Structure 1
Amino acid sequence: MALCLGQVFSKDKTFRPRKRFEPGTQRFELYKKAQASLKSGLDLRKVVQLPEGENINDWIAVHVVDFFNRINLIYGTVSEFCTERTCPIMSGGLRYEYRWQDGHEYRRPTKLPALKYMNLLMDWIETNINNEDIFPTRVGVPFPKNFQQVCKKILSRLFRVFVHVYIHHFDSVCSMGAEAHINTCYKHYYYFISEFSLIEHSELEPLREMTEKICN
């Protein structure tokens, strides 16, 4: 029997501390609205649509942070199996390899073990979403002009976590009874990025066949 969500995604499995929304803020209210829609059993294609009268950047910000939290939990469930020995390269099978570049410590695309890549990726995302100049939380402070571009890069890199987990660790996911929960998270993510054209189709190629089966 599959485990419940609380058992599968337990607190001690979280790969990173969860980013939370401040109660009383508009972002928090949007987050609650999005979560309520998810739990209502509505079609995920409808759940991701921008609510009438809401700001698209606020809606994107809420989802980027939520996907960051959820994908942290997903990777946390398999991170003990993702070692330098089992995954010496951050990849998605034999055809796809991801190299890390951040313009600072890693100025050129660098081949890394998957676990090291994941650590750097989550640090990088956390730095961005905690940066008030990129993800402003104060009322009246506008989003920067490059906000959606930053979000596209974050979401594109988070997709690579799905690629690695599905291709290299799905047996572990299934043994924990977590596949239904991860599939739902992936579908939610896929419908959202598709709704707002946030990732180039070429980036999604590694999971194209699986996506066609579970998202169409």
Structure 2
Amino acid sequence: MSLDNQSNSDSQSLQSQAPRKPPFFFREEYSGLIVKGNFMTLAAKPKLVEEGEWLAHQVVEQYRLLEQMIDIIKVVDERTSKPICNPDVCPTMSASGHTYTWLDNQKKPIKIPAIQYINLVQKWIVGKINDPTIFPTDTTSPGFSAAAYASGSLTPSSTPLPVGPTNLNTPLSALSGREWLGKSSGFPETFEADIKSIYRQMMRCYAHIYHGHWLEPFWNVNAYKELNTCFIHFINVGKLFGLIGDKEMEPMQPLIDLWLAKGLLPQAEAQGSTQQGPAPGTAT
């Protein structure tokens, strides 16, 4: 082997041994936000609001923000005449070594393109929010529109307005027994498991958006700070109320750690009282 070839070989060997730089979105210089302030204040439950009502509001609001980010990756690229996220560039729903599968009609996990997975998640979440047995709503309240849920485009004014659980003729004996999140506001016993499942699916969408589309389109259209702002708010609520666990956050943990170090997120995760319920997708 010639000296030149040996030198090139040594150089390539050193490069292969050098630590790989983290993705741009895991670096402090790209972790900025579009707003300043304490996100814990935004997530904190008002004293006079029942926790089930507050979390119902938060889940709807978090989906509204995520929906705006999803709309960005659905924009049609003029060069390809296809959405930015399409089966050619994203054949699976994946993020940082995690591949998320969907359960088919036979309850078997299958791999599907990311955009198909995300579309199914959106339909599933809107179906949950629009289900009065999960998110009971008072349709007689001023300003309420059931169509706002069914459309899949949730606005701040279309948050759930829970109905009281009883009337004057309900015996006191019916109020005794098991307690659960939101019981006093009329939410079902499965409510906590349902919103944790919704949160888990939203986390997967955020993870794919970052790992698959941070550069194109968010960096290229200078919208990465908007993405960061939506995501830190999402994580803040999830950690504060125990809606999401470490396993689900794993693909985005380096960015979360940056924000933790800056004191922008709560250090300790709240403990939920109900185990997470099944979701339509599974991770492999």
TM-score range, shorter chain: 0.7 to 0.9
What are the within-5 Å matches in structure 2 for residues 200-215 of structure 1? 200-215=245-260
Given residue 193 of structure 1, which amino acid in structure 2 is its aligned partner?
A: G
TM-superposed CA distance for 1:214, in Å, is 3.1
Equivalent residue, structure 2, for 1:195: 240
Which structure has the greater CA radius of gyration?
Answer: 2
TM-superposed CA distance for 1:173, in Å, is 0.5
TM-score by length of 2: 0.59
Given residue 187 of structure 2, which amino acid in structure 1 is its aligned partner?
A: F
Equivalent residue, structure 2, for 1:181: 226
Given residue 43 of structure 2, which amino acid in structure 1 is its aligned partner?
A: V
Aligned counterpart for 2:40 among listed residues 37, 45, 51: 45
Equivalent residue, structure 1, for 2:50: 55
After superposition, the C-alpha distances for 1:46-102 in whole angstroms (9 at most, x for unaligned) are 210111121111111111111111111101101221111000000003x1000012x
1:97 aligns with 2:141: no
Equivalent residue of 1:46, what SS? helix
After superposition, the C-alpha distances for 1:89-124 in whole angstroms (9 at most, x for unaligned) are 00003x1000012xx635111110001101111111
Q: Whole-Å Cα distance in 1 between the matches of residues 254 and 188 of structure 2?
A: 36
Query: Would you say the 8 A contact 1:100–1:106 is kept in 2?
Result: no
Equivalent residue of 2:101, what SS? coil
Q: Whole-Å Cα distance in 1 between the matches of residues 121 and 220 of structure 2?
A: 26
Equivalent residue of 1:100, what SS? strand
TM-superposed CA distance for 1:41, in Å, is 5.3
Moved over 3 A (4+): 39-42
Q: Whole-Å Cα distance in 1 between the matches of residues 35 and 200 of structure 2?
A: 28
TM-superposed CA distance for 1:211, in Å, is 1.2
Equivalent residue, structure 1, for 2:118: 118
After superposition, the C-alpha distances for 1:116-148 in whole angstroms (9 at most, x for unaligned) are 101111111111000000001123240001101
- Larger helix fraction of residues: 1
Equivalent residue, structure 1, for 2:164: 140
Equivalent residue, structure 1, for 2:70: 75
Equivalent residue, structure 2, for 1:157: 201
Equivalent residues, number = 175
Query: Would you say the 8 A contact 2:35–2:229 is kept in 1?
Result: no
Q: Which runs of 5 or more residues in structure 2 are unaligned?
A: 1-33, 75-82, 139-162, 166-185, 262-284
Q: Whole-Å Cα distance in 2 between the matches of residues 175 and 54 of structure 1?
A: 41
Q: Quick one: structure 1 residues 40 and 213, their matched pair in 2 at CA, closer, same or farther if it must change by over 3 Å?
A: closer
Query: Would you say the 8 A contact 1:87–1:114 is kept in 2?
Result: yes
Given residue 140 of structure 1, which amino acid in structure 2 is its aligned partner?
A: G
